[in-house]
Structure 1
C-alpha cells in the first residue's frame, strides 16, 4: 500500500507531504482544487513521461517520492527480473532537473524510466475518468477475461513466441524482397562477372604483359639496337673485344717486369671475359626477338580489354578491378545463400506457428469457460446498483489469423432493460451505467489479481443517491483486501472512507498553492455537508452528513 507521498515544486504544489492508511482512503475537494495535480505527481513517481512545463519554479528541481508497503503481494520475482533487491518496503523517487533531464530511483538505486514504470504499474493501479472508455476497447476486455480465466502464464508464453514470430516474419519479408531485387540484377551482374573472369591474370602478371606488349610492339627497334651492340662488341676487326685482346697481348710482354703491370693485365683479362659474357647475353636476347604480328595483336586485345573494364568500372588499377570481381563473387554467394536462409526462416516460422496455435487453443478454451462466469458476476453485482435487468452477452469469435491475443475476437454486448436487444456496450450504455459496470469489473478483478493499491479517480461519475451509497459499499468491501483510494464528489461514497483527505487551494503571499489535509471527525462532517449542497439548509445537511458517517 501507499504509505507516504511527498511532492515538491510541481504545478501549484510548493511542498506537500501526506500519509495514507490501509483500507478505504477518500479524497475530496472542489473542482479545480488540485486533485488532478496530486495524481499527476503520483504518475511521475510511477514512471510516466514528464511535462517539464509542470515544474513550478524552473530554477529548482521537482522531486516526487513515494513509500509503499508491499509485503504479501508476491512481487519478489518482479524485482529480481529487473535486477533489484526486494524489500517489504519500497521507496520510489523521481527528479526533474531544471536542465530538462530526469532521474529515477528505486530504493536509492538509479534506474531507467522504463524500469520505474514497469515496477510502478505493479504497485499502484490508477483508474482515471477517461479509462472508463476502455470498456469499449477489445484489448482491455480481453485482459479482464484473461485475468479471470487464469491465462497469465499461458499468455506470457504466447506473447513471447508471438514477438519472435513477428520479428522472423519481418526478417523473412525483408529477405524475400532482397532476393527479388537481387534476381533482377542477377543476369546483368552475371554478365559483368563473366567479363571480369576473362581476366585470367594476377596484378604481378600485368607487368609481364605490359613488357611483352612493349617488346612485340618495338621488336624491329630492339633488334636493330641489339645487333648494333653486338657489332660494337664482337666485330672481328674493330670490335671492343678484339681491341682489348690486342691490349692484353701487349701487356703480356711487360707483365713480368712488375706486379703493377700484372694487375693491369689481369683486369684487362677480366674485362674481356665480362664483355664476352655480355656479348653472349645480347646475342641470346637478339635471337629471341620475334617479329610476330599475331602475338602483338593478341596482347593488344588483352590490354584493350583490361583498359575497357577499368573505364567501365571507373577504377584506375587492376587491383581495384580484381576487388570488384571479388565483390561480385561474394554477392553471388550471398544470393545463393539467401535461398537457404529463406528456407530456414520458413521452417522456423512453421515451428513457431504450430506452437502459437497450440497455445491459442488453450487460451480460447480457458476464455470460453471464463466469459459466461464474468457475465453472471457482472449481472449479480449490478443488481443492487439500480441495474437489476442488466444482461451481458459475452462471446468469443474464432478468427483465422493469429494475433497478439491468440485467435479470438470478442463480442461484448449489453442490455439494461427487459425485452431490449443486445447491443455493443459502447452504443447501449450511458455514462452512469459505464461507471457502475467499470466499478463492478474492478471489484471482480480484485478477486483474481493482487495489487497493493488501487486508485479510483471519480469512477462514480454519473450516479447519485442510493446507487452512490451502494457503490460506496462495494468500494468499502474491496478495501478489506487491499488499499483503495477514491477521489469522489459523492458524499455517500466519501462517508464510507476509513480516512478522509481534502484537497484545497490557498493563497500564500503572491501565489496560490495546492495542499491536502487529513480531516478529523468534525471536519469530515463539515466537508460531507458541503458535498450534500447544504448551503441554505446547512443544519439539515450537517444532520444528513452525520447520518451518513454513522
Structure 2
C-alpha cells in the first residue's frame, strides 16, 4: 500500500508531505483546488511521461517520492530480475530537472522509466474519469476478462509470440517479393556468368595473344632478318664464326709464349662459344617462325572475342573480366541463398503459426470458462449499487484469424430495465449507470488480483443521493481487502472514509499554491456539511453530516 507521498515543485504544489493510511481514504476539495494535480504527481512515480511545464519554479527541479509497503505482495522476483535492493518499504522516486530531463529511482537505484512503470502497475491502479469511457472499448473488455481469469501473463506472452510471427511473416513476404523481382535478374546474371565461364579466359592471356599476333603479322620480315643474321654468323664460308675459328687457332698456338697471349686465347674461346650459342638460337627461332594464316585468324578471332567481352563489361583487361566473373558468381550464390532463406523462413513461420493458434485457442477456452462468473458478479454488484433489474452479458464471437488479442471478439451487453433487450453499453447505459458499471468491474478485478492500492478519481460522476450511499458502501467493502482512495464531490461517499483529506488553495501575495491536510473528526463534520449545503454551513447540514459519519 501507499504509505507516504512527497511532492516538491510540481504544478501548484511547492512542498507537500502526505501520510496515507490503510482502509478507505477520501480526498475532497473544491473544483480547481488541486486534486487532479495530486494524481498527476502520483502518476510520475508510476512511470508516466512529463515535461518542464509541470515545474512551479522553472529554476528548480521537481521531485516526487512515494513509499509503498510491499511485504505481502511477493515482489521479490521483480527486484531480483532488475538487480534491485529489496525492502518491505519500497521507495519510488522521480526527478524532472529544469531542462525537462527525467530520472527514475527504485530504492535509490536508477532505473529506466519502463521498469518504474512495471513496478507501479503492480502497486496501484488509478481509475480516472477518462477511463470510464474505455468501458465501451472491446480491448478494455478483453483485458477485464483476462485479469479476472488470471491469464494476463499468458496473453502478454502470447502477444510477444504473435508480434514475432507478424515480423517473420513480413520478412517472408519481403523475401518472396525480392525473389520475384530478382527472377529475371538471376537469369541475366546466370547468362553473363555462363558466357564468361565458357570463354575460359585466363589471367595474362590477352598479353600473350597480342605478342603472338605481333610476331605472326611480321613473320616474313623476322624470318628473313634471322636467316641473314645466321648466314653472317655461321652459314657462309666467310662467316664470322669460320673466320673467328681461324683466329682462335692462331692465338691458341701462341698462348704458350706468354700469359697475355694465353689470356687472349681464353677470351677468344669464350667469345667463340657465346657466338656459336647465339647462332644456334637464331637458327632455332628462324625455323620456328612459320607464316600460318590459320593460326593468325584464330588469334584474331580470340582477341576479338576478348575485346568484345571487355567492351560489354566496360573494362580494359582480362583480369578485370575475371573479377567481374567472381562478383557475378557471388551474386548467383546470393540468389541461391535467397531460395534457402525462403524455404527456412517458410518452415519457421508455419511452426510459429501453429504455436500461436494453439495458444490463442487455449486462451479462448480460459476466457469462456469465466464468462458466467463475471456476469453473475457484475449483476450482483449492480444490484448493490441500486440497479435491481440489471442484466449483464458477455457477447462472444470466434474470429477466423488470430490477432494480437487472440481469436476472441467480445462485447459487454447491458440493460437496466426488466424485459428489455440487452445492447451495447454505449446504446443503453446512462452516465450514472456507466460509472456504477465501471465501479463493479474495478471492484471485481481488484479483489481478484489483490492489488495493494486502488485510487478512484470521481467514480461517482452521474450519481447522487441513495445511489451515492451505495457506491460508498461498495468502496468501503472493497477497502477491507486493499487500500482504497477515492476523490469525490459527494458527501455520502466522503462520510464512509476511514481517513479524510482536504485539498485546498492557499494564496500568499501574488502566488497561489495547493495544500492538503488530514481532517480531524470535527473538521470532517464541517467539510461534509459544506459539501451538503455549500459554503454556508447550517445547523441542519451539520446534523446531516454527523449522521453520515455515524452511519
Asked if Structure 1 and Structure 2 have the same fold, meaning a TM-score greater than 0.5 normalized by the shorter chain, the answer is: yes
Give the aligned CA root-mean-square deviation in angstroms: 2.6
Q: Give 3-state SS (helix, strand or coil) of 2:449's partner.
A: coil
CA distance in structure 1 between the partners assigned to 2:247 and 2:444 by the alignment = 128
2:13 alignment counterpart: 13
Q: Render the CA deviation track for 1:412-464: whole Å, top value 9, x for unaligned.
A: 21112122212111222122211110111011112221222222121221111
| Contact 1:384/1:467 (<8 A) preserved | no
1:320-365 CA distance string (max 9 Å, x none)? 4333323332333333343333333333333333333333332222
Show CA shifts across 1:252-277 (max 9, x none): 24433333443333233223222322
Aligned match of 1:140:
140
- Structure 1 residues 233 and 352 mapped into 2: Cα distance closer, same or farther (>3 Å)? same
Does 2:56 match 1:78?
no
Distance in 2 between residues matched to 1:35 and 1:231, nearest whole Å: 123
- Asked whether the equivalents of residues 371 and 395 of structure 1 are also in contact (C-alpha less than 8 Å), the reply is no
User: 2: CA distance between counterparts of 1:19 and 1:316?
Assistant: 86
SS in 1 for 2:90: strand
User: Distance in 2 between the 1:502 and 1:240 partners?
Assistant: 133
Q: What SS is found at the alignment partner of 1:114?
A: helix
CA distance in 2, matches of 1:110, 1:366: 39
Which sections of structure 1, spanning at least 5 residues, go unmatched?
A: none
State the match for 1:162 in structure 2: 162
Could you tell me how far 1:380 is from its partner in structure 2? 0.8
SS of structure 2 residue aligned to 1:447: helix
Aligned to 2:109: 109
Question: What residue is the counterpart of 2:410 in the other structure?
Answer: 410
Match of 1:46 in 2: 46
Q: Which stretches in structure 2 are left out of the alignment for 5+ residues?
A: none
d(CA) in 2 for partners of 1:295, 1:509: 112
**Structure 1-normalised TM-score?**
0.91
- CA pair 252-434 structure 1, distance change in 2 beyond 3 A: same
In structure 1, C-alpha distance between the alignment counterparts of 2:14 and 2:377, rounded to whole Å: 45
Q: Return the alpha-carbon distance in structure 2 between the equivalents of residues 337 and 57 of structure 1.
A: 62
Partner SS state of residue 447, structure 2: coil
Alpha-carbon distance in 2 for matches of 1:144, 1:317? 74
Matched, 1:433 2:433: yes
What aligned pairs does 1:117-128 form with structure 2 within 5 A after superposition? 117-128=117-128
Distance 1:214 1:453, change over 3 A: farther
Rate the CA distance shift 1:525–1:318 in 2: closer, same or farther, 3 A: farther
Indicate whether 1:502 and 2:538 are aligned: no
8 Å CA contact 2:50, 2:100 repeated in 1: no
| Preserved CA contact (<8 Å) 1:235 1:242 | no
- 1:527 paired with 2:527, answer yes
Q: 3-state SS of the aligned residue for 1:446?
A: helix
Following superposition, the deviation at residue 377 of structure 1 comes to: 1.0
For residues 228 and 14 of structure 1, the distance between their equivalents in structure 2, rounded to whole angstroms, comes to: 116
Aligned to 2:442: 442
Is the 1:414–1:424 contact (alpha carbons within 8 Å) kept by the matching residues of 2? yes
Give the total of aligned pairs: 550
Mapped contact 1:490–1:531 kept (Cα < 8 A): yes
SS of residue matched to 2:65 = strand
User: For 1:193 and 1:530, how far apart are their aligned partners in 2?
Assistant: 93
Q: CA deviation at 1:513?
A: 2.3
Mapping of 1:257-296 within 5 angstroms?
257-296=257-296
Does the residue aligned with 1:512 lie in a helix, a strand or coil? strand
Q: What is the Cα deviation at residue 401 of structure 1?
A: 0.7
Question: CA separation in 1, counterparts of 2:244 and 2:120?
Answer: 108
Secondary structure of 2:427's aligned partner: helix
